[in-house]
A and B are shown apart, each in its own frame.
Chain A
Amino acid sequence: MNDMTPEGREERRGKLKGLGHARRRVEDARFTQGKGNYIDDINLSGMLFGDFVRSPHAHARITSIDASAALELPGVVAVLTADDLRPLDLHWMPTLAGDKQMVLADGKVLFQGQEVAFVVARDRYVAADAVDLVEIEYEELPVITDPFESLQSDVVLREDLDPEAPGSHGPRRHHNHIFLWEEGDKAATEQAIESSEVVAEEMIYYHRTHPCPLETCGSVASMDKVNGKLTLWGTFQAPHVVRTVASILSGIEEHNIRVISPDIGGGFGNKVGVYPGYVCSIVASIVTGSPVKWVEDRMENLMSTAFARDYWMKGRISATKDGRITGLHCHVTADHGAFDACADPTKFPAGFFHICTGSYDIPVAYVAVDGAYTNKAPGGVAYRCSFRVTEAAYMIERMIEVLAIELGMDAAELRARNFIREDQFPYQSALGWEYDSGDYHTAWNKALEAVNYEGLRREQAERVEAFNRGETRKLLGIGLTHFTEIVGAGPMKNCDILGMGMFDSCEIRIHPTGSAIVRLGTISQGQGHATTFAQILASEIGISSDSITVEEGDTDTAPYGLGTYGSRSTPVAGAAAAMAGRKIRAKAQMIAAYLLEVHEDDLEWDVDRFAVKGAPERFKTMAEIAFASYNQAIPGVEPGLEAVSYYDPPNMTYPFGAYICVMEIDVDTGEHEIRQFYALDDCGTRINPMVIEGQVHGGLTEALAIAMGQEIAYDDLGNIKTATLMDFFMPTSWETPTYTTAFTETPSPHHPIGAKGVGESPNVGGVPAFSNAVHDAFRPFGLRHSHMPHDHWRIWKVAHELGLHG
């Protein structure tokens, strides 16, 4: 067998199905056959069901709770209220943002749908009946749903907080104020803007929306009183953190708690936080001695477990007459709802919003974010994004368009003129980030050429003329975006959640016959980790990915990690996998040297084996080495072949991309049609192109939803108006366009395999691309900015206000 030739080597490499291979997914077999194991599929003997009594009011004092009728209903086991949780000090819980949140309403309610009592019954139907029988009397209080009003109002929302005392992110200037967070040089930025030739200013609202995975949140708690062990299954994107929080809250030692994330039916940030339902299922299991399941329904999901965005962003951007950006100033009023339950690293109350200088070389910038309480659901989760990066990307990509209007310049040209150049990387941004790598001009030019940008602009000009002549009622919009993300949180020097550094981990055990099991601190919710992490390792250790089992989500078996969100799995756990693989290889080299009777330095790694330098026919494959590690006494080498790596990333990674959306808009109906969508992503080294493409398709469709209709809306009384899928827009296959994907490949210089992460890019870049297409269609008629979501009615209104309806 001559597999040392270049062809032979390539054949061996192909068999590994490693990096770059469009490997079909190992997860699919169970999902396509209906054998997934999601939270609601878990069924334990004697299991009870929990269900919440929720507040119909957005702001009210509770004057009485009477559960007697509910308790008389056959099959009802318990009704928990804040008074039952108080002795355990569990009626409130800490949030990930340094605030605290009521588990069950303690004297008052602060948003519609807030959890007031937890009914436990023998089945879900009885529990639902009992919910209706719990009688609660409320005294209504004034409702505030607007963050600007909140920061002026005499109405105190959070009576539990001392208005004089600082919050966890510094001083609070008003009783409804949460924090002021600033970054950058304020004075220099103001000076730069004031002395500039051109200044554009705009208020940009990124509306409140919701991740809305098809599977809602839920948990099953089982307290084994005999052994003192608590097992908690749940929809957790960060199971290890949940274990630590559960231990701190309950006082149960951490070794007695086992947290398991089973299959998760989509997360998108919804399943990062800790919710009252999880806590109540644990308490109910402790109280009743039976396993207790809680699974929210869709209405509960949309009204209570986390929202995303809700940022009012006032941007000012300045430039020279020829379009060189000179400064960026941004003030955000952030509506956090009733409790600050943002899922952000501790030191970043506005997440990584200060990536808002985007892809541009902006010499000086300043951002300030004011957080405000309102009578809306708590949250502020990163809906398919890395901690407020979507808001930042939307702000800068809208501001660029507004500046282009101010300058009378083509928006593509304005971008190209201000991109950070390839030779400027690593690039130090004005707001303190070090961009690792990028080649924006190459990506941008490739995208413009692919869609024939010049041709599209000519067509658009002709269309405007035809419209003005009365020959058509449809306009053409060209939506441009060049985004830069910041993902892979993050370096322990500045990133933690509840004090836990945001490293991640990987543990590898090579079996004697040359296959392996790998466990990581992350948890897939559809990303396909069992497929792709095995590919990283196949290339590192020379064992076919088909012979590597990947496990995640069981805290009793997996090494501690911070979980999956913020596109951190590949940048952090993927790096841990590569580093653990290298430890395996280092030990394998020692074993191979012994077996081949040569010095280690005389060996070289060759795809799946160590071969003697200059004598490639003398080699030991990884499978042979693995067997030897278990059956030979090798001097100075421990038996077995295992490795663990805990990886603390030195920096974030900075994926980027160029998206172009071509949209037709019917001026009379406000309907839109997406004629073309071109998405070029650069996520560094590509692990599995098929999986990347799938991620891009999905993220773009979520972006389509957000930009074109999806919102969590409230009326003035704090009633949620979008709590079912009747009102909350989710595109079907009918509304969703066919996307064209493309890529450039600029590896991250600090990541072991150069990978950057891609899952969230299409949401981050997609929203401004769709939104800019709408704006671009109306630019010839004088539109500067209009708020999302661009549903038919709002687009019709834009056309109407521009006088296009005659």
Chain B
Amino acid sequence: MSDKMHIKLTVNGAPREVLAEPRELLIHVLRERLGLTGPHIGCETTHCGVCTVDMNGKSVKSCTVFAAQADGAEITTIEGLGTPDDLHVLQRMFHEHHGLQCGFCTPGMITRAHRLLQENPDPTEEEVRFGMAGNLCRCTGYQNIVRAILAAAAELNAAREAAQ
């Protein structure tokens, strides 16, 4: 398995290059070659969503995407969503509404919620529950995650209206 591929991708706004085997999964490249351990591994079968990242404007489960498929792609991980001094509103709202406990699902959850609010900036509770159904959480029962996402949407929409 020595035939490595030269893969170029943009991760959290910065150009990155890696040499990876054709069979190597995107999640392993992100975590082990690029040191981005925010996205996690939970099931290897695309069910749990803890590996969720944003790829070319869509949520993907990076445990079932080959790194080679991400050649040329724009990737956003949890590490690209906010900074300690300027948290993303979703990061603030998950904290404020107790939308996390063990934290293992949280990076994927927030990354997915970020994309959901791009797709549907003003979702109903039902739409949030449906739109987040690809991300499992064992700790929270989702109730506070849903509250956090709705609160984030409200804040983003209020800011948008104020700007207009």
Residue ranges of A at the interface with B (Cβ–Cβ < 8 Å): 24-25, 27-38, 40-41, 43, 124-126, 129, 212-216, 263-266, 268, 297-299, 525-528, 690-691, 693-702, 724-726, 730, 732-734, 736, 738-739
Contacts and interface: CB of A to CB of B under 8 A. Distances in A.
**Most chain B CB inside 10 Å of its own CB: which residue of A263, A700, A701:** A701
22 contacts: A29-B95, A31-B106, A33-B84, A41-B31, A214-B137, A215-B42, A263-B102, A266-B101, A266-B138, A266-B139, A298-B45, A525-B102, A694-B98, A694-B101, A697-B143, A697-B144, A701-B141, A702-B138, A725-B43, A725-B48, A732-B132, A732-B136
Interface in B33-63: 36-45, 47-48, 50
Given A724-B45, A733-B145, A30 B103 contact: yes
**Most chain B CB inside 10 Å of its own CB: which residue of A35, A40, A124, A694:** A694
B161 to A, nearest CB: 26
Nearest to A41: B37
Given A214-B138, A694-B139, 16 more contacts: A31-B107, A32-B103, A34-B36, A35-B38, A43-B32, A125-B21, A213-B102, A215-B40, A215-B42, A265-B42, A265-B104, A701-B140, A724-B47, A730-B48, A732-B142, A734-B129
Nearest to B83: A33
B153 interface: no
A612 B23 CA distance: 74
B104 A690 contact: no
Contact of B107 (A34, A213, A268, A739): A34
Contacts of A30: 103
Contacts of A734: 129-130, 133
B136 A691 contact: no
Given A25-B95, A34-B78, A214 B48 contact: yes
* Interface size of B as a range: 35 or more
B91 A38 contact: no
B41 A33 contact: no
Interface in B129-164: 129-130, 132-146
A739 B101 CA distance: 17
B91 A733 contact: no
B128 interface: yes
A467 to B, nearest CB: 28
B100 interface: yes
Contacts of B75: none
B129 to A, nearest CB: 4
B67 interface: no
B1 interface: yes
A36 B36 CA distance: 11
B50 A28 contact: no
Contacts of A25: 95, 98
A630 B163 CA distance: 54
Contacts of B96: 24
Contact of A31 (B21, B47, B103, B141): B103
A33 B135 CA distance: 17
B24 interface: yes
A32 B138 contact: no
Please give me the 5 A-B residue pairs with the lowest Cβ-Cβ distance, nearest first: A34-B38, A31-B103, A265-B104, A526-B102, A697-B141
B141 to A, nearest CB: 3
Given A526-B101, A730-B138, A33 B42 contact: no
B106 A698 contact: no
Nearest to A688: B98
Nearest to A266: B102
A125 B138 contact: no
B94 to A, nearest CB: 5
A261 to B, nearest CB: 12
Contacts of B1: 125-126, 129
Contacts of A43: 32
B40 A38 contact: yes
B50 to A, nearest CB: 6
A702 B102 CA distance: 15
A690 B102 contact: no
B40 A40 contact: yes
A265 B48 CA distance: 13
A557 B48 CA distance: 35
B105 interface: yes
A527 B48 CA distance: 21
B17 interface: no
Interface in B80-127: 82, 84, 87, 91, 94-96, 98, 100-107, 110
A28 B129 CA distance: 22
B95 A24 contact: yes
Contact of A38 (B78, B104, B139, B146): B104
B91 A33 contact: yes
**Most chain B CB inside 10 Å of its own CB: which residue of A30, A37, A734:** A734
A214 B108 CA distance: 12
A701 B142 contact: yes
A167 to B, nearest CB: 34
Given A28-B95, A214-B136, A33 B38 contact: yes
B43 A528 contact: no
B157 to A, nearest CB: 21
Given A31-B103, A32-B91, A34-B36, A125 B24 contact: yes
A212 B100 CA distance: 17
Nearest to B95: A28
**Most chain B CB inside 10 Å of its own CB: which residue of A214, A525, A526:** A214
B26 to A, nearest CB: 14
A279 B77 CA distance: 34
Given A40-B40, A526-B139, A736-B141, A33 B78 contact: yes
Nearest to A216: B42
A232 B78 CA distance: 28
A126 B1 CA distance: 9
Contacts of A212: 138
A722 to B, nearest CB: 13
A733 B129 contact: yes
Contacts of B136: 214, 725, 730, 732
A27 B41 CA distance: 20
A9 to B, nearest CB: 28
